[in-house]
Structure 1
Amino acid sequence: MAMLHVYSDAEGLMPRPAVRKISTLEVLDALRLGLIDFQEKPSHYVFLCLLYPVMGMVLMVWSAGADMLPVMFPLASGFALLGPIAALGLYEVSRKRELGLDPSWREAFDVRKSPALFSIFAAGCVLFVLFIAWINVAQAIFEWHFGPVVPASLSAFLADVLTTWSGWQMMFWGDLFGLAFAVVALSISVVTFPLLLERDVGAAAAVATSVRATIANPVPVFLWGLIVAALLVIGSIPVFAGLAVVLPVLGHATWHLYRKLVEPPALQPVAVRAP
């Protein structure tokens, strides 16, 4: 089974999807197309994306209730690392609309029937491990500057962070490491999940394609990352409610960005046998 499609596809081949070089204008066009997809049937997509703001709130409440205030903000920002997984149903809707179909919200769950489901799961596990690693690094940065003592309250924690030299240093290093995690997450996932949804190429090949697309288009992909970060911040105000709109737009736009970054199957080079 070729490692259950983690390394290769169902036939034991190692596909190498061809990537394109695109402009920053094409990134904006992908966002425009994502907005069009959302506007067609917004009620379906808001329903699908209620899970994201709800999970965001659960994480925030859990972090406060479990004396995890030091990682409350890393949790909120790190949750965006899991966005590509949450948007799988949206990719499916955009894919079917691209084929001239008129999908209902139920068809967004057709992802579960994908022959690449195990590869999707494997790639999702990579993002989840990255998320856990980020939380642990953020906790270590906090303890490096303030020790293992848990803040007495949210207001005390904010005062320590915003008004002390240790707090400023913590924010600097936290932002620096956070940027590094964001770059890694973006490069390994920008086209991974849409590619797996369309073609059972194997998780390793999908991640490698995403990295190659990023290397070939550093400025457009970086712009996409800035757009995602900015919209997620805007959508998080207040209490994550705006994410019910932001997430579907970004999800659909990700599909269209994938279309621009990766050549269609008919134009792919011949796959080679995986070792």
Structure 2
Amino acid sequence: MAALEGRISRLPVTIRRITDIDRSGRWLAAGWRDFLAAPKVSLIYGAGFVILGNLLTLGLWLAGLDSLILPLAGGFIILGPLLVVGLYDVSRRLEVNQPVSVADVFSAFRANLSQLSAIGVVLLIAFLVWIEVALFLFMLFFSDAPPPLDTFVGDVLFSLRGAPLLLLGTLVGALFAAIVFSVTAVSVPLIYDRPFDVVTAISISLLCVQLNYRVMFGWAGLIAVLTAVGLVTGFLGLLVAMPVLAFSTWHAYRDLIEPAPAIEEEAFPAAAI
């Protein structure tokens, strides 16, 4: 712990230690309030995820690769933190009682564009690696390319032959999710909010998760559950889930990272350090 505290003390930001493990509920509640405060922008942004998910699903089905729909769903978890940067802007504006518009939301990516692009490349590589790993695991157990989705479901989900693949795939998927979550927990909103480079932001995010691993474990689980609900509803649930989770992530970032001196208003009172 002393070594961790030493590394944290050398960071260009102050990471707060969160002592109450149910903090994620407060973040989610704050995200829901932002959703209600800007419903039009939130629903328009969320509709983009619904449309994108269904278009990608249709494309895979037409290409005969519909069994890749399940690994594709994991892409929303991997790429999601970057895709919702515009919604971080909504929460930031609501904090200081500024008006919110669709044009402002979609122009938010201009803030620190080079570093947002860099972390986007990191997440895209992680997504492509995940797809390749998913294909490798299937061929490892079934010695063939993934079949159509109806056959895939029967062979994998409802057969003893598919049990090892499900077990190993779940473990590998959980590992991927944990790594991506640790890398992006606060790094993307931090890069949007302040002029940090991607390496520094990722380092801060990893140390932040390590310092607050109890509350962050629960927060990661809540994100996974709400995203899964959004996906199993034919992506329709993402209409609300993605904006609320984006707003909540912004409030988590505000709570975990001490604001810059220019920021006087905080979403939450300072936690014990």
**RMSD value, Cα:** 1.7
CA shift digits 1:13-42 (9 cap, x unpaired): x96222111132322111111100000121
Q: Does 1:188 align with 2:183?
A: yes
Residue 65 of structure 1: how far off its partner (Å): 2.8
Q: 1:106 to 1:184 in 2, by over 3 A?
A: same
Question: Does structure 2 conserve the Cα–Cα contact (< 8 Å) formed by 1:94 and 1:252?
Answer: yes
Matching residue of 2:202: 207
Give the aligned residue type for 1:29.
Answer: R
Matching residue of 2:3: none
Q: Does 1:50 align with 2:38?
A: no
Q: Does 1:109 align with 2:98?
A: no
Matching residue of 2:5: none
Gaps of 5+ in 2: 1-9, 263-273
Question: Does structure 2 conserve the Cα–Cα contact (< 8 Å) formed by 1:18 and 1:263?
Answer: yes
Give the aligned residue type for 2:13.
Answer: P
Residue 235 of structure 1: how far off its partner (Å): 1.7
Which secondary structure does the structure 2 equivalent of 1:240 belong to? Answer: coil
Q: Does 1:134 align with 2:139?
A: no
Matching residue of 1:39: 36
Spell out the pairing of 1:162-173 with structure 2 (5 A cutoff): 162-173=157-168
Residue 86 of structure 1: how far off its partner (Å): 1.5
Matching residue of 2:21: 24
State the distance in 1 between where 2:164 and 2:157 align.
10
Q: 1:162 to 1:48 in 2, by over 3 A?
A: closer
State the distance in 2 between where 1:220 and 1:55 align.
32
Q: Does 1:225 align with 2:216?
A: no
State the distance in 2 between where 1:75 and 1:176 align.
17
Give the aligned residue type for 1:52.
Answer: F
- Normalized against structure 2, the TM-score is what? 0.87
Residue 159 of structure 1: how far off its partner (Å): 1.1
State the distance in 1 between where 2:122 and 2:153 align.
32
State the distance in 1 between where 2:143 and 2:64 align.
14
Residue 238 of structure 1: how far off its partner (Å): 2.2
Matching residue of 1:62: 59
Give the aligned residue type for 1:92.
Answer: D
Q: Percent identity?
A: 31
Spell out the pairing of 1:86-105 with structure 2 (5 A cutoff): 86-105=83-102
Q: Does 1:249 align with 2:263?
A: no
- Normalized against structure 1, the TM-score is what? 0.87
| Count of residue pairs brought into register by the alignment | 252
State the distance in 1 between where 2:248 and 2:157 align.
36
State the distance in 2 between where 1:162 and 1:196 align.
40
Which secondary structure does the structure 1 equivalent of 2:22 belong to? Answer: helix
Question: Does structure 1 conserve the Cα–Cα contact (< 8 Å) formed by 2:87 and 2:105?
Answer: yes
